[in-house]
Structure 1
Amino acid sequence: MSPNAPRSGGGRGQRRPSRPAPRTGGRPAAAGAGGAGGTGRGGGRKGAAKRMTDQVAPAPQPPRRGPAPVKARTGVDVHDPEGVRLQKFLAAAGAGSRRACEEMITAGRVTVDDQVVTELGVRIDPTRQVVHVDGMRFSIDDDLAYIMVNKPKGVVSTMYDEEGRLNLADMVGPREERLFHVGRLDLDTEGLILLTNDGTLAHRLQHPSFGVKKTYLAEVRGPVKRDLGRNLRAGVELEDGPVAVDSFRLVDSKPGYALVEVVLHEGRKHVVRRLLEAEGYPVLKLVRVQMGPLVLGDLKPGKNRRLTRGEVQQLMAAAGL
């Protein structure tokens, strides 16, 4: 071997390669799967729709908002040592799987009392602290009830009637909670009424300043003049002041009959009936089929059901909570 040839192997005089510097910080975060998105129930029914409630398409879901630009408050400690882990609370509230909720936290999408939280070890008290993900509030309160009722014709929109007539309490049966109805429907009007003991949400859903829209289907005698929608959107002067609808469309028309959809956020007494009658179209039948994102759907007259967590969250978002 030539004396100038490089040595191979691990000779004593050979210079060893330097070791890489040790890593600092905690363990790398586990790779998590993205949050699972819900899928809505599909499609139309076979044949022509026979009920008024079948004429309305399901409400469009509110668009997914990106991380809300929340200004963090300095010097605020939201951690409660006796509370529940934030990711566990979010998963129980329906925000996603535990792993997906952890990713939301580390991505800075979660706030507690307006404080951005990015640490997975934070514990909170859900009974006194307010949690948002991308600007949408999440909560768990077993004492709050949210029940949708399809009020039939002839039922009084009260929880008690001195004359002994059928009322909303008869639709849901005896309950421990004291429930309030959100909005009224007159004796001859059918459709969606929400019963709840959440006073804040009830107020916001009813007050016109929050702009939560209600959708009605009305049967009138046809044909309907072409400028009816334009007149209603421009505003109609009633005895208690002008009223303008948010939208109007002709759903169906046959000789001597028309089905129209009226959307508005006003809550005055008999407002839909009075609007259409003022334009020369007395209402033959009226059904409220939607309130904000909440849709009556296939719920039969006289029946009720509890809202899902997702429906409650959508109502809160529509009401600005």
Structure 2
Amino acid sequence: MTSSDPQADPRGTEGVRLQKALAAAGVASRRVSEQLIVAGRVAVNGEVVTELGSRIDPAVDHIAVDGEAVQLDPQKRYYMLNKPTGVVSSMRDEHGRPDLRRFTDALDERVFNVGRLDAETSGLLLLTNDGELAHVLAHPSFGIEKTYIAKVTGRMSAQTLQQLKRGIELDDGPIAVDRAKILQQQGDDRHTIVEVTLHSGRNRIVRRMLDAVGHPVVELVRRSFGPLHLGTLRSGAMRELTTVELGQLLTISRAADVGRSGGADTHPHSHEGDS
């Protein structure tokens, strides 16, 4: 961050005024942004700034308002897609199956998917051109929480739910859900609708877990990904994240990135197997 005092900072008037950067990022009008700064609700690189003359470098400095991160780069895009079944989570499928290009070809920028849903799983998929955020969110060491609604065969018991919570052993190691609950029994107990929440990104993990406890999946939908919720977004529809959603996502990503070690990955979307 640059200072408002040219004597204290040799760069003097370089950078962008903080209130102008906030307004350009869509946080609020410049006047309201000034009020936020004076009220002590704006932080730059973790430090609260209350001086209206403060300047920042949008390419370097991290800004937060009321503890929520702000994206200052207007070139970064973030989309939520309700992926239909039958579509593979790839920008170009080598086998010629329907892929994500049918949703992204009309966009002005090139985006990629964060994590994957298998072809027969529908629901929330995040698309972005923000490689840094995508790397953190898709990295298995981070383990962002995801919630699924599954239609499974048979009548699932409370004992089976507890088994999923305690953990089961799969071929690639032990696994447990974070939360699970039965939503509905269907068709003379031929099917059960169950909600499961977990943070693993292992390949087809939800299907494998439910199959292992004797309840194979008939239908599977991912309803949430971290702070993002599918809501009423229809199947096959896509929308940009709201300012609030983006702030929540960036806050989580930056916090995780601070504590994360290890090298960068040039293919951030390749980590997760999901569902």
| TM bucket normalised to smaller | 0.7 to 0.9
The CA distance in 2 between the partners of 1:231 and 1:118, in whole Å, is 52
Alpha-carbon distance in 1 for matches of 2:10, 2:40:
15
Matched, 1:165 2:97: yes
Query: Out of 114, 121, 129, which is 1:197 matched to?
Result: 129
Q: CA deviation at 1:264?
A: 0.7
State the partner residue of 2:170: 238
Q: 1:252 aligns with which of 154, 176, 184?
A: 184
Report the structure, 1 or 2, having the larger strand content: 2
Residues 78, 113 of structure 1: 8 Å contact kept:
no
In structure 1, the residue matched to 2:198 is 264
Matched, 1:95 2:27: yes
User: For this pair of structures, how many residues does the alignment match?
Assistant: 247
Cα offset, 1:248, TM superposition:
0.4
Deviation track 1:241-285 (CA, whole Å, cap 9, x = no partner) reads 111111101111232221101111101111000000000000000
2:268 corresponding residue in structure 1: none
Quote the offset at 1:154 in angstroms: 0.9
**Mapping of 1:127-146 within 5 angstroms?**
127-146=59-78
C-alpha distance in structure 2 between counterparts of 1:138 and 1:78, whole Å? 27
| Matching residue's letter, 1:131 | I
2:215 corresponds, among 277, 281, 305, to 281
RMSD: 2.2
- Show the counterpart of 2:240: 306
* Matches for 1:1-321 after TM superposition, within 5 Å: 77=9, 81-254=13-186, 255=188, 256-321=190-255
Which residue identity does 2:233 align to in structure 1?
L
Question: Are the aligned partners of 2:228 and 2:245 in contact in 1 as well (CA < 8 Å)?
Answer: yes
The 1-side partners of 2:26 and 2:244 are apart by 7
CA distance in 1, matches of 2:135, 2:221: 22
TM-score by length of 2: 0.82
Structure 2 Cα separation of the partners of residues 240 and 150 of structure 1 = 29
Q: Shift of the alpha carbon at 1:147?
A: 1.3
Structure 1 residues 158 and 130: alpha-carbon distance in aligned structure 2, compared to 1, 3 A threshold: same
Letter in 2 for 1:270: R
TM-score, with structure 1 as normaliser: 0.71
SS class of match (1:164): coil
Are the structure 2 counterparts of residues 160 and 104 from structure 1 closer, same or farther at C-alpha, using a change threshold of 3 Å? same
After superposition, the Cα gap between the structure-2 partners of 1:216 and 1:81, relative to the gap in structure 1 and judged at 3 Å, is same
Deviation at 1:303, TM superposition (A): 1.8
Deviations 1:49-100 (A, max 9, x none): xxxxxxxxxxxxxxxxxxxxxxxxxx98598614332123223334344444
| 3-state SS, counterpart of residue 158 of structure 2 | coil
In structure 2, runs of 5+ residues without a counterpart are: 1-6, 256-275
Give the distance between the partners of 1:165 and 1:105, measured in 2 at CA: 51
Shift of 1:234: 1.0
Higher RCO (CA < 8 A, seq sep 6+): 2
Larger radius of gyration, structure 1 or 2? 1
Q: CA separation in 1, counterparts of 2:167 and 2:209?
A: 9
Residues 78/172 of structure 1: CA separation in 2 closer, same or farther (3 Å cut): farther
Q: Secondary structure at the match of 1:209?
A: coil
1:160-201 CA distances to partner (integer Å, 9 max, x unpaired)? 012221101112224443322111111111111111111121
Identity of aligned residues (%): 51
**Larger helix proportion of the pair:** 2
8 Å CA contact retained: 1:153, 1:187: yes
Contact 1:224 1:258 (C-alpha < 8 Å) held by counterparts:
yes
Distance in 2 between residues matched to 1:78 and 1:210, nearest whole Å: 39
Structure 1 contact 78–112 (Cα < 8 Å) conserved: no
